[in-house]
Amino acid sequence: MSRYWVLMLCAAMLLVLPSAGAEVQIITSKKTYNYGDHLGISITVSSVTGGDATIHIINEDGTKSSAIPVQIRDAVTTITSPNPFDKEIFKEGKYQIEVEYAGQKGSVGFEIVDAGNTVLPFASNVVVPQWASSAISDYVFLKFLADNGVVNFQGHALKESTKIPSWYKTNGFWWADKKISDSEFVGGLQYLLDRNIIS
């Protein structure tokens, strides 16, 4: 076999062999997030290897978050963080998301700013559904919100007998399903407090 044919055969084999790595691209749902927003990212890989990706969030100081594993089963994987950005965990500033998959890395930047939005505290993703399903009382729920500066009783005392109308629990489920924002959920509660509907 001539050298020319050997070179052509080798070139053809390289075209059909799978590459060792998978090119990784990341896109965020926004370039600028406010407190209360949920991070959304889309990870695109050139080939699916069956392994998991590892995500790190890196702040301006270069500090990396713990590794977050993400299953990659399709060429495009879209995920939304279960918890919104919280002032107690994330400072205002610029961040990088770094994704590693099949030996390849990709990264994208985003920014967090404080737009003055009403934001429920970090533990709300547990507390609100518990309250909506009556696992905790109205008093415990309102005390949690008041202790975190989310609602204002404006001179009224919070008592163990305090009652929120049961129909408002639907809003708790809507909030847990991300159908309404923190501002809408808290605004409704504050309205009920201001009008003495919560007694």
- Note the pTM of the prediction, 2 decimals: 0.70
Q: 16: which 2 tokens?
A: 């059909």
Q: What residues contact residue 66 under an 8 Å CB cut-off, 6+ apart?
A: 56
- Lowest-confidence region among 26-30, 163-167, 193-197: 193-197
The domains located in the chain, with CATH, are: 20-113 (2.60.40.1930), 124-194 (no CATH)
| DSSP element (H, E) containing 130 | helix 124-132
pLDDT at 21: 54
Q: Residue 70: beta bridge partners?
A: 53
Give 114's pLDDT tier (boundaries 50, 70, 90). very high
pLDDT tens digits, one per residue of 83-112 = 888 888 899 999 999 999 999 999 999 999
Closest CA to 180 of 139, 132, 115, 116: 132
- Lowest-confidence region among 64-73, 80-89, 102-111, 151-160: 151-160
Q: 82: which 2 tokens?
A: 């279960």
Residues 88, 92, 93: CA angle, nearest 5 degrees: 140
C-beta atoms surrounding 21 within 10 Å: 15
